[in-house]
Structure 1
Amino acid sequence: MASLVDQVYRSFVISKFFSRGWGSPEQLKRLFDFRKNIANRDTCMKLVDPNHRIIIDKVQLDESGECKLIDGHFRSDHLPGLLPPCAEDAYFQLVVPADGWKSGDHHFWRRRNLIARPLLKDHGISSLILENPFYGVRKPPEQFRSSLLNVSDIFVMGGSLILEGIAILNWCEREGFGPNVMHGISMGGHMASLAAVTYNKPVCLVPCLSWSTASGVFTQGVMSGAIDWKSLETQFFSNSFFKDELYKIVWSNSDEAYLAGKEFVSQFDPKSSNSDNQAFSSLTMGQSARDQEKNLFYTLTKFLKERGLLKILPDLSTMTTSRTSEVMTETTTVSGREHKIIDFSSMITGNSKAKVQKEAIQFMRGVMDEFTHLKNFSKPVDPSLIIVIAARDDAYVPRDGYQPLDHIWPGCHVRFLDGGHVSAYVLHQKLFKQTIAESVARYREKYNTDGTLKAGSVKSVNFPSETDKKVIEVLGFQNAKSVNDSSQRM
């Protein structure tokens, strides 16, 4: 059940996202090509100089005298012409012990006080807080608060943070910091995930209140009500580029659906003797063809839902058998196989407004999956170092019908909190910090400081469960560091 707190909280925010539309066709074309480069770890790592220059601007004690605050910046120049000029300098703040290192949330105050200081005081973990592109001092002057102007801004932000994360992790290694933990909350959790999986060494990851893709956030979650759909619909139908080019590119990337179809057929082959097939057969015996078709439809949708693929299908409940062939209108070739392109416009009944809304939402879903779905990026070097925290009743980040993270990253750990997105953020900061400390302990149990496996270590390490957290809390982890990519709410 979606959290009522999330829905009420969102209703207080009246600003609209994406008021300028999808972004220019030229930008989106560049971003599609760029996404292919950063999706592969080897090519992505080559985009960042291992010795990318990091500049320290100021070193000072905080007001308590217990922490040293180190402000720095570096150039984020990997997306010229896409990243706004005001965002091309990336700013960060490093929070370390007072006698240490000698060399949503705009700015650093909230993350410093809610996460960084307690981590340092309770666990001896230093924090590096990175300012997101499009936030704080990196926010375009015409942007109102955190309401991004273009859909493409999300993709520019994600691509920039991936490369900025690599630059920071390389610098931390040069400066002797480690183990390193990538951490973020909500959108920051997803951005931290993107940065962590593209790094070529074992790195801890603690994404909180995020999931495998951002598509549901903007099409189903409460955030979908904060989007300027009118502007998106107008641009989508007024520029043939979106319907004639991008639409087909997005929806032809269906290798996953193709493989799932093969798996479904093999599971329910009449010649098979497996238990699933037997159970299915027992349901269909003695039934009419109509009832058997209903059961097959139910079984197929359940199968696809479990694999996070249900959202790519048309709304079959609005279709009749005679219209089924109408929606499969064209073919394309992906990886040497033919795939049908779904013409969603033929499925729409009723007035033209409903058709426009349907197609814009489907396009949003597809383009968000293309750029943000974690299955489109490299697998993490060591998934056992990942601890995911999600809220059971999250109304901001839907999970139902989307691929679970432990399916994409086998071996990672997924934990659930009772409650919704907002209540989890407000009430469980301590748990987030404990989990960061636990991830560091997992790393130290398994790896040496240089990232090599300890003698006798294997890929998976049995580690204390949730009930053993008290053991974690009393440990001190000097010179460990968490990298807070961002803790902006979605």
Structure 2
Amino acid sequence: MVEVKLGMLHYVLDHVYGAFMHRTKISPLFFSRGWGGTKLELLERMIKQLFPEVGRSRIGLPTIVKPIWKTVWETKNACLREGVFRTPCDDQLLSALPPESHNVRVAFLTPKFVPPQKMACVVHLAGTGDHTFERRLRLGGPLLKENIATMVLESPFYGQRRPRLQFGAKLLCVSDLLLLGRATIEEARSLLYWLDSEEGFGKMGVCGLSMGKTHIESRARGGVHAAMVGSLHPTPVATLPFLSPHSAVVAFCEGILKHATAWEALREDLAAQKAAMTLEEVRERMRNVLSLTDVTRFPIPKNPNAVILVAATDDGYIPKHSVLELQKAWPGSEVRWVTGGHVSSFLLHNGEFRRAIIDGLNRLEWKEPPS
């Protein structure tokens, strides 16, 4: 009975926070400028190329990137560097990205005096609203003693890559969400390829924790994108989605974030192109578009045993059925449940997230060093 009451408290906390953030008009709504017009149609076609039914050969190998590094600080045991490189997106994606997002920033935290062949590295992707490196570096810092380095990617549309007209985390168009995801996939795959081919790391992983530094609105994105990257990468990597659904449909059409979406603006945008639609028809259109983010449609990762999902028992943003759908689609993957809601799990269970990172990497074979 006590556990039931605590679970309800966690669930209510998510809803109270969500109502405060999204119904009091403290900040603008997502997609206040509509669908994105022809840009959305382009991205729909490009994302469909990632699905197995249209042939994985169209995905191609990641592009090699060459970051320019500077040292931020170093101690006798660790070093933090920041790097900059041009996004590896092709010309079509590059023309769709805002100019502010063309250059990529990464932070790279490594233990000193450990050869890369004896070291693992995990690329940490951002949740919506995570505009800085700080939180993800705090998550990865204690892993240094396990000889696990942390690479933190600054997402398009966030941090120094945020478009001038965008307020905070609230993307202006639905097309921005798909564009952000497609660019993040290419950038993360390129960083993993760089860690492997240029630096020679013995093991690699990708994780996404679906909470930003200060905003509960940062629900699903980091985990969904981590699952996509792990699915599409050409070699086995540990794939670690934390507090994540199987699709953005769950976040925007079922969970609390449906109250943070500009449904009326989306309806007006559609009405300017075709006959007027009801709000329910607009929501159905959103479900169809965001079905492109359904990770269960993506290929099974090369080593599904190295996929560990960490989910919360009483998450008001991510329902249990969504987590279990991804586990079912990827046989061999593992789900670990932490007691709490979306907010409380982010605050209280960093130790469980780190343990999942360690265990996922331990399920990979060490790469053979070059002869």
**2:271: which partner in 1?**
237
Q: 1:432 aligns with which of 329, 353, 367?
A: 353
1:112-138: CA deviation from partner (whole Å, max 9, x where unpaired): 12x1211113x2211000011111011
Choose which of 12, 35, 41 in structure 2 pairs with 1:22: 35
Paired residue secondary structure (1:8): helix
Q: What is the identity, as a one-letter code, of the residue corresponding to 1:108?
A: F
Distance 2:20 2:202 in 1: 41
The letter for the 2-side match of 1:181 is G
- Quick check: 2:296–2:325 contact (8 Å CA) kept in 1? no
- Match of residue 219 from structure 1: 253
Structure-1 separation of matches of 2:319 and 2:279: 20
Paired residue for 1:155?
178
Is the counterpart of residue 185 in structure 1 residue 209 in structure 2? Answer: yes
Look up the equivalent residue of 2:180 and give its one-letter code: M
The alignment partner of 2:95 has SS state of coil
| Structure 1 residues 128-156: Cα deviation after superposition (integer angstroms, max 9, x where no partner) | 00011111011111111111111111110
Q: 1:401 offset after TM fit, Å?
A: 7.0
Q: CA deviation at 1:37?
A: 2.2
The answer to whether structure 1 residue 56 and structure 2 residue 68 are counterparts is yes
Alignment match of 1:6 (pick from 8, 14, 29): 14
**Aligned amino acid, residue 143 of structure 2:** L
Quick one: distance in 2 between partners of 1:80 and 1:399? 36
Residues 389 and 417, structure 1, Cα contact 8 Å, conserved in 2:
yes
Question: What CA distance in whole angstroms lies between the structure 2 residues aligned with 1:135 and 1:65?
Answer: 32
Identity %: 34
CA distance in 2, matches of 1:53, 1:401: 34
Task: After superposition, give the CA deviation of every residue in 1:270-311 in whole Å (9 maximum; x if it has no partner).
Answer: xxxxxxxxxxxxxxxxxxxxxxxxxxxxxxxxxxxxxxxxxx
Q: Aligned letter for 2:301? A: P
CA distance in 2, matches of 1:129, 1:92: 5
The equivalent position to 2:285 in structure 1, one of 363, 369, 377, is 363
Q: Does 1:133 align with 2:156?
A: yes
Amino acid in structure 1 at the alignment position of 2:32 = S
Residues in 2 aligned to 1:131 and 1:100: alpha-carbon distance in whole angstroms: 26
Partner of 1:324: none
Of the three residues 72, 89, 93, the one matched with 2:83 is 72
The structure 2 residue matched to 1:105, chosen from 127, 130, 135, is 130
Question: 1:120 is aligned with what amino acid?
Answer: L
- Give the conservation status (yes or no) of the 8 Å contact 1:417–1:424: yes
Gapped runs of 5+ residues in structure 2?
A: 1-7, 117-128, 211-220
In the alignment, is the contact (CA less than 8 A) between 1:67 and 1:117 conserved in 2? no
- Counterpart in the other structure of 1:208: 242
- More divergent stretch after superposition (398-407 vs 30-39): 398-407
Q: Could you tell me which runs of 5 or more consecutive residues in structure 1 were left unpaired when the two chains were aligned.
A: 244-351, 452-490
Q: 1:389 aligns with which of 302, 306, 310?
A: 310
For residues 94 and 30 of structure 1, what CA distance do their matches in structure 2 show?
33
Count residues with an aligned counterpart.
327
1:73-101 alpha-carbon deviations (Å, 9 max, x no partner): 22213212211111111110110014457
Q: Relative to structure 1, is the Cα distance of residues 94 and 407 closer, same or farther in structure 2, using a 3 angstrom cutoff?
A: same
CA spacing shift, 1:403–1:116, aligned 2, 3 Å: closer
Distance in 1 (alpha carbons) for counterparts of 2:203 and 2:20 = 40
Distance in 2 (alpha carbons) for counterparts of 1:101 and 1:84:
38
What per-residue deviation string (whole Å, max 9, x for no partner) do you get for residues 226-267 of structure 1? Answer: 111110111122213xx8xxxxxxxxxxxxxxxxxxxxxxxx
Whether contact under 8 Å (1:212, 1:402) holds in the other structure is yes
The separation in 2 between residues aligned to 1:403 and 1:184, in whole angstroms, is 17
Distance 2:280 2:301 in 1: 35
Contact 1:209 1:397 in 2 (8 A): yes
The question of whether the paired residues in 2 share the 8 Å contact of 1:213 and 1:373 is answered with yes
Question: CA, structure 1 residues 230+155, in 2 after alignment: closer, same or farther (shift >3 Å)?
Answer: same
> In structure 2, what is the equivalent of residue 93 of structure 1?
107
Range that drifts further, 180-189 or 73-82: 73-82
Deviation at 1:34, TM superposition (A): 0.6
**TM-score under structure 2 length normalisation:** 0.83
Once residues 201 and 66 of structure 2 are traced to their aligned partners in structure 1, the CA distance between those partners, rounded to angstroms, is: 15
| Secondary structure, counterpart of 1:404 in structure 2 | helix
CA contact 1:68–1:100 (8 Å) conserved in 2: no
TM-score, scaled to structure 1: 0.63
CA-to-aligned-CA distance 1:3-60 (integer Å, 9 cap, x gap): 1111122233232111111111x112211221122334432134x33xx232223024
**Shift in CA distance, 401/426, structure 1 to aligned 2, threshold 3 Å:** closer
- Describe the superposition over 1:376-425 as per-residue Cα deviations: whole angstroms up to 9, x where unpaired: 22221111110011112211123447861121101111122222111110
Aligned-partner residue type, residue 29 of structure 1: E
